[in-house]
A = this chain, B = another copy of it.
């Protein structure tokens, strides 16, 4: 089969012919309909320090996808051949304290598809049956594929109540863009997006942001306060990982407000914890992954009911063969979500 493979340590990846994998006990083989690209894929592609420290080659990249179950490994009972599924990308142990108490999104032994085991930028992928999520038949494949990052956004955006509140979404990559739409769907009184990239600023408006702030042109803290009669926003969703944005966002959140942090700073940085967090009584929630499976049920309900529409986030559809072009789009930031089709782009 065709697969995008990182064959040697270092930048780049190639489209190769590899063996179709076989499902072991408790696993299923899935024919990939659509796969989408995450910033993490791009980091591995470029071979940044984090990737160099974690990834073992050879590796098939990719962890966002949907497809059809075509073969069951021994002992699989919860999924059937023919099921239309997406995947939770975190393969968790099921036995640690966190897994046994409803916090498997912070499982101590998480393995990630396309990072720690072969991923989905291929015609076929094998995943544990426990990671397969059955989609509604009516869900378009490109949306089904992007449920993994959408789930990050759902997890983040629903960490705190937003109905009737002023929300800031800092960083409008695909997850931030989804968070804008979720906050609107959930009844936020006002959604303020912060983003430096003009392409994504436009997308943020299309997703429903009431205002987009460019932190390179405006003081973010001041803009957030100006929108709230000096008070600061009720809820901050931090999706950028940029130190300046994090600090400015915290200072633009009202005393007693709530902060969900999803963005990952690439290195330690200085924080004024006393003035930015402690004395202002903020509640800060670190967010990673998706709650299993509450986030997935919430996402299904939002999508199937039509309450949430994330299709504007999907800006590019390419055949799998053009993954190099996709990586260039990622590099320039001139994209929302880029979807790859191993079987060719549907017309």
Interface of A toward B, CB cutoff 8 Å? 75, 78, 95, 97-98, 100-103, 105-106, 108, 154, 158, 161, 163-166, 185-190, 231, 241, 246, 254-256, 261-274, 277-288, 292-294, 297-299, 301-302, 304-305, 307-308
Contact = CB atoms under 8 A, between A and B. Distances in A.
A246 B231 contact: no
Contacts of A256: 98, 103, 106
A185 B188 CA distance: 9
Nearest to A241: B274
B255 A103 contact: yes
30 contacts: A78-B95, A97-B297, A98-B254, A98-B255, A100-B293, A101-B294, A102-B294, A154-B164, A158-B163, A161-B161, A163-B298, A164-B297, A165-B301, A186-B187, A187-B307, A187-B308, A189-B301, A263-B278, A269-B270, A269-B271, A269-B273, A277-B284, A277-B286, A278-B288, A280-B288, A281-B286, A282-B285, A282-B286, A283-B286, A284-B286
A157 to B, nearest CB: 9
The 10 closest A-B pairs by CB, nearest first: A106-B255, A189-B305, A102-B102, A189-B301, A164-B301, A103-B256, A106-B281, A284-B284, A186-B187, A278-B286
B100 A297 contact: yes
B281 A283 contact: no
B271 A281 contact: no
A297 B323 CA distance: 47
B297 A277 contact: no
Contact of A305 (B190, B263, B279): B190
Contacts of A98: 254-256
A228 B293 CA distance: 18
Contacts of A268: 270-273
Given A189-B302, A307-B189, A246 B261 contact: no
